[in-house]
Amino acid sequence: MVKDQLESKLTEYYEEMVEIRRYLHQHPELSFEEVETPLYIAEYHKKLGHEVREKVGERGVVAKLHGGKPGPTIALRADFDALPMQDEKDVPYKSTVPGKMHACGHDGHTATLLVLAKVLNELKDELTGTIVFIHQHAEEVAPGGAQAMIADGCLDGVEAIYGTHLWATTPLGSIEYTEGALMAAADKFQIDIQGQGGHGAQPHYTKDAILIGSQIVQSIQHIVSRSIDPMEAGVVSVGAFEAVNAYNIIADTAKITGTARSFSEEVRQTMEDRLGQIVSNVAASYGAEATCTYTRGYSALINHAKEAQLIAELAKSIDDTKQVTLSKPQMGGEDFAYYLENVRGAFFFTGAMDPEADFAYPHHHPRFDFDERAMLHASKVLGNVVLKEVGVL
């Protein structure tokens, strides 16, 4: 049975999966700076005899495996960029590059997809159709790599796409999925305030940019509670407030930056509109001026229902799976969203926390790590999805 062969071979190559992951972990490259990583990925696929395109969307890699018989074209995606952080783990495979590390599991995503590609290649005579392996750069930094790769044709002919994220704070053996919204639209805003500075002893001659900014910060916290349907979800968070002056000088300018998160276009538009209104009106009430620059980031990641159900159904058939649960939507962003705007498919979370551990460092933490057995679990789920989609399962 092809399913048994797939899972057996993946288990056989697990150590290679770990070896690849650890190599990538030691040699991280930041978003839009990836050079050696895509070369490594392309070379791996070339050795398998796959059709390979490099520099897709500038830095991505797309490889194709043609099955023994005609059939559908199904894509799998993994990202491979790292983060600008110092690796503080005490492990043999810690990053060798100062100030750069894989702190979100993208090294694991890449290792998972490469070894799965190797196994599917060994089973290609049993497969129908074409499998497309999309290795994406720059997921961590907007505008991301997905849109550029799509524009460069990575989805040409693709009928469905699937992907997963290793989730270090969810126990090993768990699969979390949802039908519909899984991850949020991730937007950025910047508020620039122009007041009138002066001496700290004579505030009546000033238009205090810090005071105005403080009022704006308080006011925008009411957007979600008073302008958004309570049955919907939205977040407005301020991350930085800058107004540099001496202790006895009232600031004439200030800058506030933050993020807005949402799942629906209606909520997203409401937050953008209300931010602009509040910023200009509050500033005007103090006789000052302020502008809000709202920059849209990744769209909300919306799974297709049938494909999400397929993941859940197949995950339950795998011995490594301990539980399959519906995931609550996450306010984090993911540019896998753009693939799902173009073709049917779904994205899911694969638990990657050691079940014996009491604590796991979260994603984007300098001591982030994950249970590498999660890669094997993820590869089996994705592999079975491919088998089902091409009609051999």
At residue 159, the pLDDT reads 98
Per-residue pLDDT of 64-80, as tens digits, reads 999 999 999 999 999 99
With b for 16 or more beta-carbon neighbours within 10 A and e for fewer, the 308-317 pattern comes to: bebbbebbee
Query: What percent of the chain clears pLDDT 90, i.e. is strictly above it?
Result: 98
| Lowest mean per-residue pLDDT among 5-9, 301-305, 389-393 | 389-393
Q: Quote the mean pLDDT of the chain.
A: 97
Average pLDDT over residues 172-177: 98
Report the residue count for the chain.
Answer: 393
pTM of the predicted structure, to 2 decimals: 0.95
Per-residue pLDDT of 71-106, as tens digits, reads 999 999 999 999 999 999 999 999 999 999 999 999
Kind and range of the H or E run holding 162: strand 160-171
Per-residue pLDDT of 318-362, as tens digits, reads 999 999 999 999 999 999 999 999 999 999 999 999 988 889 999
At residue 358, the pLDDT reads 86
204 known ligand binder: no
Average pLDDT over residues 37-48: 98
At residue 18, the pLDDT reads 98
Chain center to CA of 148: 15
Per-residue pLDDT of 239-269, as tens digits, reads 999 998 899 999 999 999 999 999 999 999 9
140 known ligand binder: yes
Average pLDDT over residues 228-233: 96
At residue 357, the pLDDT reads 87
Average pLDDT over residues 230-235: 96
| List of domains in the chain | 2-182+300-389 (3.40.630.10), 185-295 (3.30.70.360)
With b for 16 or more beta-carbon neighbours within 10 A and e for fewer, the 335-355 pattern comes to: bbbbbbeebbbbbbbbbbbbe
165 known ligand binder: yes
Does residue 204 have a pLDDT over 90? yes
Active site members: 81, 139
At residue 108, the pLDDT reads 98
Torsions phi, psi of 5, nearest 5? -65, -45
